[in-house]
Amino acid sequence: MSEPLPIYPTAGIRALEAALPAARPSLMERAGLAAAELARDLAGDGRPILVLAGPGNNGGDALVAARHLKAWFHRVEVVCAADPARLPPDAAAAFAAWQRAGGGCLTEPPRRGDWGLIIDGLFGIGLTRALGEPYGTWVSRINDHSAPILALDIPSGLDADSGLALGPTVRARHTLTFLALKPGLLTADGPDHCGKLHLRTLNVPPSSFPPAPGWLLNAAMVRGFVRPRPLNSHKGQFGSVAVLGGAPGMTGAALLAARGALAAGAGRVYVGLLHEAALTVDCLQPELMLRPPATLPDLASVSVIAAGPGLGTSAAAVAHLEAAIGRTVPLVLDADALNLIAAEPALQEAVSRRSAPTLMTPHPAEAARLLDTTVEAVQRQRVEAASRLAARFNAWVALKGVGTVCAGPTAPWFINTSGNPGLASAGTGDVLTGIVAALLAQGLGPREALLAGVHVHGLAADRLVEQGIGPIGLTASELIGAVRRLLNEWAYGLSP
């Protein structure tokens, strides 16, 4: 999915369906045909196809698909335990059409079968609780089978809004979703259960869709933010980043952020280390200018301050953070800066009153502290949590994790598509802080800097994995060079 695409929660999809005029063929007929066409391509080898049809409209989509596949001379076995008299009207019509086509129904999935494909049409986007029986057992049974699974609209058992697996949940190799993307496909447990995503808008015209509350964040959306540099350039044109952090035992965090900022194109990078016996030079990156932290807010040339990597929670850290918050330059807050703000109402108020742009990059535990809630509550509603933080602090926020959610003080929000488990290692968040700060220093607005920084950070990890580096053992330091290469590809149109 290379183009920017809108994302709608369940309520938005329901509203869209209700607003569409009655059309022929119906949305269910269109969805079932689209599912059958994809299933035909995926099955391919002549083995039978197992179709699981649930008690709602998702089951109706599956029955329409089964009917088309049968008409195309595929061997199809359908499992449907629902009472036909209790099916919704469209699903009941699909069931009757399946019977008229000569199709029958099994009451449970066979324990063994040489299927070329399994179609999951049990439950769609309306599911809000764990699957009851017999469906939980059915899901476990098909997950244990070697045949690939194609889920219709969303894997059964997955919450379409939060992306949480509510209990037994289908692990699909492919998911065909209808009308528009849903948040749960892209964040939390969603990517682990969806496999490859396919979208079909079912020939609904774009003019019928309401304004999207969210968008898919991918390279197509952000690569144009990074432009080639004029030949007549000097370092002052690309801004200066000051990194505040590096308490005893955590010097590396500040250095990683600073190195990330330098590789992402900042003209100059200063580092204020809180360690009393701090380095005076970074031997691996001597271009960095290491200074006492008290001098950083006084540097007239500073374009952006990045506070938090390895900052610690000492009284000195609080004082330096207060000074940074008080500066009228863009501010990127991460790690211990967020923890200190969460613990101090006065700092919270100071951040929310800032006139210069503020960007925050919390992981779920930091977000929970800032919102005075639990990590579980944040993960249950990642989009809502990111949006609440953005509104509370008048900031652009990246809630990190699978499908990082980026939100600003006003809609829309974005869900990132890049990244892999290699980013689950120490220091990668510090590198992101430096990247975002550097993009701000070069003149990007807060929205553009955050979106481009989040995406290129994840994409760098993806590129490294393609080269055989990670995801196991991928390090934060290795990301930095990959980020530089990608930004130059974007700016100059270079081939990967």
Over range 346-363, report the average pLDDT. 98
- pLDDT at residue 347, as a whole number: 98
Contact present, 165 and 143 (Cβ < 8 Å): no
For residue 285, give the nearest of 267, 274, 269, 273 by alpha carbon: 269
- Structure confidence at residue 496 (pLDDT): 53
Q: What's the distance, CA 393 to chain centroid?
A: 22
List, in order, residues 6 or more apart from 220 with CB less than 8 Å away. Answer: 2, 3, 4
**CA dist., res. 447 & res. 482, Å (int):** 22
The arithmetic mean of pLDDT across residues 179-190, rounded, is: 97
pLDDT for position 278: 67
Q: What is the mean predicted confidence (pLDDT) over 336-342?
A: 98
Share of the chain above pLDDT 90, in %: 88
- Which residues, other chains included, contact 214 with Cβ-Cβ below 8 Å and sequence gap of 6+? 6, 7, 8, 9, 183, 383, 411, 412, 413, 414, 415
Dig out the tokens for 286 from the structure. 């001597």
Task: Read off the amino acid at residue 209.
Answer: F
Chain-centroid distance of CA 112 in Å reads: 36
Among 81-90, 303-312, 391-400, 405-414, which is the least confidently predicted range? 81-90
Residues 6+ apart with CB under 8 A from 308: 244, 245, 332, 333, 334, 335, 336, 337, 338, 433
DSSP classification of residue 286: T
* pLDDT confidence bin for 286, thresholds 50/70/90: very high
At 258, is the secondary structure helix, strand, or coil? helix
* pLDDT reading at 483 higher than 90: yes
When pLDDT is cut at 50, 70 and 90, the band that residue 13 belongs to is very high
Side-chain-side CA neighbours of 391 within 13 Å: the count stands at: 11
Q: In this structure, what token pair is assigned to residue 118?
A: 């399994």
pLDDT of residue 473: 97
Residue 302's pLDDT is 95
The strand pairing partners of 409, in sequence order, are none
pLDDT (0 to 100) of residue 300: 84
Q: How far apart are CA 73 and CA 70, in angstroms?
A: 5
Rounded average pLDDT over 460-488: 97
Residue 331 has pLDDT above 90, yes or no: yes
3-state secondary structure of 341: helix
Q: What is the DSSP letter of 86?
A: G
Helices (H) and strands (E) in the chain — how many of each? 17, 17
On the question of pLDDT at 277 being above 80, the answer is no
Residues with Cβ within 8 Å of 52's Cβ and at least 6 positions away in sequence, in order, are 62, 79, 80, 109, 118, 119, 120, 121, 122, 138, 142
- What domains sit in the chain, N to C, each tagged with a CATH number? 6-212 (3.40.50.10260), 220-492 (3.40.1190.20)
Place of tokens 């998702």: 58
The backbone torsions φ and ψ at residue 197, rounded to the nearest 5 degrees and listed phi first, read: -90, 135
And the tokens for 142? 């098909």
- Rounded Cα distance, 49 and 140, in Å: 18
- Where do runs of H (alpha helix) occur along 354-395? 364-371, 375-380, 382-393
Beta bridge partners of 290: 271
Instruction: Please tell me whether the overall predicted TM-score, pTM, comes out greater than 0.75 for this model.
Output: yes
| Least confident among 69-73, 112-116, 253-257 | 112-116
Helices 364-371 + 382-393 axis angle, to 10 = 50
- Residues with Cβ within 8 Å of residue 343, at least 6 apart in sequence: 313, 369
Helix (H, G, I), strand (E, B) or coil at 120: strand
168 prior amide bond cis, ω within 30:
no
Q: What is the pLDDT of residue 282?
A: 86
Is the pLDDT confidence value at 399 over 80? Answer: yes
**pLDDT digit string, tens, across residues 16-61:** 988 887 777 899 999 999 999 999 999 977 899 999 999 999 999 9
Beta-carbon-side half-sphere exposure of residue 393 (alpha carbons within 13 Å): 32
pLDDT at 182: 98
**Judging by beta carbons within 10 Å of its beta carbon (0-12, 13-18, 19+), is residue 249 exposed, middle or buried?**
exposed
Give the other-Cβ count within 10 Å of 465's Cβ: 17
**CB 164 within 8 Å of CB 134:** no
pLDDT for res 146: 92
